[in-house]
Amino acid sequence: MAERSSERVRIADVAREAGVSKASVSFAFNRPERLSPETVARIHAVAERLGYRPHPVARMLSAGSTATIGILSPQALGTVLANPFFALFAEGVASVAEERGFGLLLISPHHGSLERALARATVDGIVALGLDERHPEVGAIRRTGLPVVLVDAPAWPEHGAVRVDDEGGARAAAEHLLGLGHRSFLVIAVEPPTFGDPRAESVAGARLRGYRSALTGAGIDLPDSAVRIAPATIAGGEDAFLRAWREGSRPTAVLCMSDAAAAGVLQAARSLHLHVPDDLSVVGYDDLPLTRLTDPPLTTVHQPVRRKGEVAARILLAALGTPAGPEAGRHEVLETRLAVRRSTAAAPGGRRMEVIASA
């Protein structure tokens, strides 16, 4: 039989040429253990000669699996990719997924809707990053029936979850600055915390509680107006600090809820001819590789970002029935620690000792 070049080769063509049934051709590509090695080899040889490739959707339906897991974020794709945290986290997820023969798909809102995005996503399970249970489309995600692992969000009882001790890490950062004599603070948050709501368990809410706990213990009140909201990006941190400065804020220390935002503060300080740490101390959160490359190297709260991705992937794959370690449904909290570098120093003398508000 001549090779076909002007039309798609069908499974029936391969079956006829190899002298087997269409079911045998399907088994050769999806479940070769059901055929003899000789039959599988013959079918593959015929398929290669004819230029046959299984249709990906048909193959998934036959196998009953997409061999793909998704990382879902409620943020727009541009925002996600602008945060270097995501690359390190995704690296951890991918390393475990690839070991188990799974691919990776990034799922972000499609025309503003996670439900639309999920309708287009062919995945076996989801690692959901920063998806608060109060999100309006959580119901749609649950209705998919897919296994879900929550990361950096309040846990759902029926699904696995991974987070870090955000509150403890933030408290350590604030206590470090207090120990250096700072009393004038600006906080740059990664998202709008739910102020005053004791049920708020978002990353920003937990970190804000940690900052406030340390400052309250030192007799300092941190009002809501002393918190500046910004994207977790370099541009977001730079803009937030410059706006606060233009409005008259003169903090001696800045607590940032992300390393990317902290790098932006360092950039803003240079543009204002402020010397870090002599004039201004800056602390980040995450301990990404960029913290060793900033000028000066950034004091930050270390969290195991890559390991967080690895643990989330293992829990998800356990829910999918693969031998991936931790049991499905596990809720795990990872530790944080303070990494002190050269972006923090003793508070400058003569600076007024109060919390600088930046509404």
Mean pLDDT of 86-111: 93
Range name among 11-15, 118-122, 326-330, 333-337 with the lowest pLDDT average: 326-330
Measure CA 343 to chain center.
25
Mean pLDDT of 169-187: 97
Residues 155, 162: contact at Cβ < 8 Å? no
Q: CATH class for domain 166-304?
A: alpha beta
User: Please, where in the chain does CATH 3.40.50.2300 lie?
Assistant: 68-163+306-334, 166-304
Backbone angles phi and psi of 104, in degrees to 5: -130, 135
Q: Which of 153, 130, 93, 97 has the alpha carbon at shortest distance from 306?
A: 93
Class of domain 11-63: mainly alpha
Query: What CA–CA distance (Å, rounded) separates 97 from 101?
Result: 6
Alpha-carbon span 322 to 336, nearest angstrom: 29
Predicted pLDDT at 358: 33
Q: Which amino acid belongs to residue 350?
A: G
First to last CA, the chain: 77
Given pLDDT bands bounded at 50, 70 and 90, which one contains residue 134? confident
Q: Is the pLDDT of residue 56 over 80?
A: no
Could you tell me the CA-to-CA distances from 267 to 153, 233, 249, 260, 289 in Å, in that order? 30, 12, 17, 11, 17
Conformational region of residue 273, where left means phi above 0, alpha means psi within -120 to 50, and beta covers everything else: left
Q: How far is CA 59 from CA 47, 64, 120, 333, in A?
A: 15, 8, 17, 38
SS3 149: strand
Checking if the pLDDT of 338 tops 50, the result is yes
**pTM of the shown model:** 0.78
CATH topology of domain 68-163+306-334: Rossmann fold (3.40.50)
Q: Where in the chain is the domain with CATH 1.10.260.40?
A: 11-63
pLDDT at 4 over 80: no
pLDDT in tens, 64-92: 567 899 999 988 888 888 888 999 999 99
Q: What are phi and psi of 113, to 5 degrees?
A: -125, 125
Is the model more confident about 308 or about 158?
308
Q: Contacts from 320-323 at CB under 8 Å and sequence distance 24+?
A: 320/69, 320/124, 320/125, 320/147, 322/100
